[in-house]
Amino acid sequence: MYSLLVRWLTALLCAALLNGQSPPEAEALLRKAGELRAAGDAPGALEQLRAALQANPKLAAAHREAGAILLERREFAAAAESFHQAWRLNPRDREARYNYAMALANAGRKQDGLKELDALRAALPRYALAHFGAGHVRAELGHAEAAERDFRQALRLDPGLFRAHFELGRLLERKGDDAGALAAYRAALERNPGLTAARYRLAALLRKAGDQAAAEAELQTVRRMLAARQRGEQAGAAYLKGLDLLEQGDTAAGVAELSRALELRPDFEEIAAALAAAYARWAVETEQQGDVDAAVERFRHALALEPDPEMENHTGVLLARSGRIAEAIRHFRAALALRPGYPSAQRNLEQALRLTGEAGDAPR
């Protein structure tokens, strides 16, 4: 910890020198900010950095580190402004420019963030992180094919980018390439064994492929990792309790616990994935009991958390059987949007459109 702190402080002070300013007051404020952040006091560190910027608004390093703290606090608009100032003052700082673009995207300005990322890629075509960031934003915008190209380019430049492997896996899974998704998730875990979201998705695909033992082994690993990482946190406790309830067969209670966990930490992708799977399981149980309307609503909860073409298609079938053709058509189209050319959804859509007199409106 001490050596990391020394390196961090040295970087800050060198940046101050590059900007032509290192009075004792600024040095003291930067040093204090580093000490506070190393001790886990991010608010105190941010206060010291802001004081340093009052002394010298052109201190690029202080803007950059303030942006990092704001990013951790998910104050994306403020983080974007700090990173923008850092990059403006030090145009060679590619990480500040990258973080500026990603903070813009996370602040709801996805197109602006993407524009900055594409400009960064044009300026530094071998900067793998810029390609990954562009892919991440394009995936969120629904541009799956372009996002896949960006992720693959990032991985050609830097195979160690585990987040690129993981997000590529999610794209491949959504388009039905389970084998490609499995390989991508495994590659992500080779680079970062602690990436629980990738391990959970890997377990889901293994279960789908019929390898129950391997899937359960991955889930057990996830549980152990989460228990260690999130001990004492309410979200972690609710998540683990929800999984236990599901294993005991109490689906309703398991869904309730997982929903509570997701409310506490909506940024935990593994909780959202587990809740989606639980809703899907509950929907199947409900359908088997003959309550189609309740089954449809539970499938819809699952789809809101994690889109899936097969589930969209099946939900459409249930709606069509109960005479709700217009709603069924929306689900068939959603299935085709997720997996273009999906034969079953295509047939179902064409049949539903014939019933409404819109047969010419079916995509191919």
Task: Kindly tell me if the per-residue pLDDT of 65 is higher than 80.
Answer: yes
- Going by pLDDT thresholds of 50, 70 and 90, the confidence category of residue 340 is very high
pLDDT at 34: 79
For residues 148-170, give the mean pLDDT: 97
pLDDT at 8: 43
Give the integer Cα–Cα distance in Å for 13 and 7. 10
pLDDT at 276: 93
pLDDT at 4: 39
pLDDT at 310: 94
Query: Do residues 133 and 159 touch, judged by C-beta distance below 8 A?
Result: no
Residue carrying the six token digits 């228990």: 227
CATH class for the domain made up of 125-135+145-203: mainly alpha
What token pair was written down for 37?
A: 């952040």
Amino acid at 242: G
pLDDT at 150: 97
Longest dimension (CA), the chain: 79
What token pair was written down for 258?
A: 């997982």
pLDDT at 229: 64
pLDDT: is 16 or 364 the higher one?
Answer: 364
**Residues 109-132: pLDDT tens digits?**
999 999 999 999 999 999 999 999
pLDDT at 56: 86
CA dihedral sign of residues 171, 172, 176, 179: negative
Where does residue 143 fall: left (phi above 0), alpha (psi -120 to 50 degrees), or beta otherwise?
beta
What distance, in Å, lies between the first and last C-alpha atoms of the chain? Answer: 58
Give the integer Cα–Cα distance in Å for 48 and 12. 13
pLDDT at 57: 87
For residues 24-44, give the mean pLDDT: 79
Of the listed ranges 228-237, 306-315, 337-346, the least confidently predicted one is 228-237
Task: Kindly tell me if the per-residue pLDDT of 320 is higher than 90.
Answer: yes
Task: Kindly tell me if the per-residue pLDDT of 280 is higher than 80.
Answer: yes
pLDDT at 12: 47
pLDDT at 359: 52
What token pair was written down for 29?
A: 């404020």
The continuous run of DSSP H or E covering 307 comes out as none
Range list for CATH 1.25.40.10 in the chain: 1-124, 125-135+145-203
Amino acid at 258: L
| C-alpha Rg value of the chain to the nearest Å | 24
The CATH architecture one would assign to domain 1-124 is Alpha Horseshoe (1.25)
Task: Kindly tell me if the per-residue pLDDT of 5 is higher than 90.
Answer: no
**Cα separation values, 84 from 79, 189, 258, Å:** 8, 33, 38
Query: CA nearest 350: which of 315, 322, 313?
Result: 313
